[in-house]
Chains A and B, each alone.
Chain A
Amino acid sequence: MGDHADIDRQVRTYILVFVSLMALTIITVTISRFHLPVPAAVTVALIVACIKGGLVASYFMHLISERKLIYWVLGFTVACFFAVLLLPLWTHFDPILNH
């Protein structure tokens, strides 16, 4: 009984998350129509995408209540992910290469 009540509560959360994701999708598309300068457009689009991604990962993938080992695995992965993303930027702004 307790288990079922818990699942019912989770289902309500899923529906709330779904509505939020839809609203954020509409916000993303609407903002893109303002044709903001590229740095501002990139910042806003990525912030909204990160919020949406965070909602999917936290609630649909249950990361909000996951075991420590998973957090360690993902923490290491995210660090490597950002290192890979930063590599092109480092090379692009390298003063020796750009000399």
Chain B
Amino acid sequence: MEIPFTVAERPDTGLNNGKIGIWLFLASEVMLFGALFASYLMLRIGATVWPRGDSILNVPLATVNTIVLISSSVTMVMAWASLKRNDFGKFRLFQGLTILAGLCFLGIKYVEYSAKFHHGLLPSKNTFLAIYFTLTGLHGLHVIGGMVVNGYLWGPGAKLWKTDPEHFTNRVENSGLFWHFVDLVWIFLFPVLYLL
């Protein structure tokens, strides 16, 4: 039996099920990160001293990572636009670039984490590092999750394009929404943790 409203819009909402599903999921993600941002706020205003992020963290590397993640958001939306233009080859290119950018982001994060661990700057050292590792670690897990889905749609999942291109385009749009959300979270994490 075919699942209804994977392509067609529901008459009551004007949206297909996937679109509603991903936005509800993103709403729950907003609350997850919201709770952690609130924890950061509570720890910061309750602390007698709080270090400036740039005195401990590597701002140039984080700036490069910001540029990488913003660029990946553009390639992601270009991958979706390519499918809308029926250009599957371009989709493969842009989706591949998005995955590469995700790998690059994680590689830079690995370098950053390694340097911290090497200097004994562990989460147990102080509350700043504890919340830094919690927030960036959770964000990193989201990057990995997004890459797995994007990788699937770039590889084996792309078979759907041949049989049901509209359904496949919807899937790419929904995975893109998640990827842009990951970018959006980083846009706030970067100044809050590194620059203030």
A7 touches B85 (CB 8 A): yes
Please indicate the chain B residues that have their CB under 8 angstroms from the CB of A45 in the complex.
191-192, 195-196
CA distance A47 to B13 in the complex (A): 33
Q: Which of B70, B71, B81, B177 is within 8 Å of A7, CB to CB?
A: B81
B183 touches A56 (CB 8 A): yes
Q: How large is the interface on B (under 10, 10 to 19, 20 to 34, 35 or more residues)?
A: 35 or more
B15 touches A32 (CB 8 A): no
Q: Does B127 contact A (CB under 8 A)?
A: no
Please indicate the chain A residues that have their CB under 8 angstroms from the CB of B14 in the complex.
67-69
B184 touches A88 (CB 8 A): no
Tell me the A30-54 residues at the B interface (CB within 8 Å): 32, 38, 41-42, 45-46, 48-49, 52-53
Q: Does B20 contact A (CB under 8 A)?
A: yes
Q: Return B7 CB to nearest CB of chain A, in Å.
A: 16
Q: A4-B85, A14-B77, A45-B196 are in contact. List 19 more A-B contacts (CB 8 A).
A: A15-B74, A28-B191, A38-B196, A41-B195, A56-B180, A57-B180, A60-B76, A60-B176, A61-B177, A61-B180, A69-B13, A69-B14, A70-B20, A76-B27, A78-B30, A80-B31, A80-B34, A81-B31, A88-B39
7 closest Cβ contacts across the A-B interface? Answer: A88-B42, A45-B191, A32-B195, A77-B27, A81-B34, A18-B74, A60-B180
**30 chain-A/chain-B pairs, Cβ below 8 angstroms:** A7-B84, A11-B78, A14-B78, A22-B67, A25-B63, A28-B190, A28-B191, A32-B54, A41-B195, A53-B184, A60-B77, A60-B180, A60-B183, A68-B14, A69-B13, A69-B14, A70-B20, A73-B23, A73-B24, A73-B27, A76-B27, A77-B27, A78-B30, A81-B30, A81-B31, A84-B31, A84-B34, A84-B35, A87-B38, A89-B45
